[in-house]
Structure 1
């Protein structure tokens, strides 16, 4: 299943909230992403069908191995671009928003080369 940017954002949100809270429910995602509960419900269903998420009997969300892998890659990119943009003087709030857009559109090759370049400093 090909993930769109929004699906990647949901997986990243689950990962971030798991790191912060331990357990995550759909309502936590809605608050974190500032989206409606029905939007989260639809996304969770789609991600569950794609094998990226599971839910337990208490309605907690859990990343599958596939979902964890995707979420970690997206989150790593997000952190990298946010840090780099702030380092060149971009306002942190703008850097965060721009990183969120860049993380989805840049190729793996370009990202790896930028990351390697960033490690040289």
Structure 2
């Protein structure tokens, strides 16, 4: 798997959230979801295309490549698992969401697996 930056993972996750909700994968929707400008989303979209994570032709919807979808799904899974764990500790929804956004990218695979197992047991 290609090493990806936090920003790239955040964009992939945002596209995956839209995909998972059966919403069109459009820059305007990602802009609202991440609270960033449309030019920032367009720049990130070009970078995701360059890295081979998404495909897009002019005036068409964005589509995941197999590797892009795999990474997006993994980041989304880490986020949702960590959020469930933090909520189970009594952390507020707002703080759990913010905190898991910060730690999902830096947590070791070993630590994540332990947390994932705890969440599954509950």
Which stretches in structure 1 are left out of the alignment for 5+ residues?
none
Relative to its length, the structure with more strand (as a share) is 1
- Mapping for residues 1-121 of structure 1, pairs under 5 Å: 1-121=2-122
Aligned residues: 121
| TM norm structure 1 | 0.92
User: 2-side partners of 1:9 and 1:109: how far apart?
Assistant: 21
Preserved contact between residue 26 and residue 60 of structure 1 (Cα < 8 Å)? no
Which stretches in structure 2 are left out of the alignment for 5+ residues?
none
Preserved contact between residue 82 and residue 115 of structure 2 (Cα < 8 Å)? no
| TM norm structure 2 | 0.91
Partner of 1:106, secondary structure, is coil
User: 2-side partners of 1:64 and 1:71: how far apart?
Assistant: 10
Stretches of 4+ moved more than 3 A in 1? none
- Listed one character per residue, the Cα deviations across residues 2-59 of structure 1 (whole Å, up to 9, x for unaligned) are 3110100000000101122432111111111110011111111111000001114433
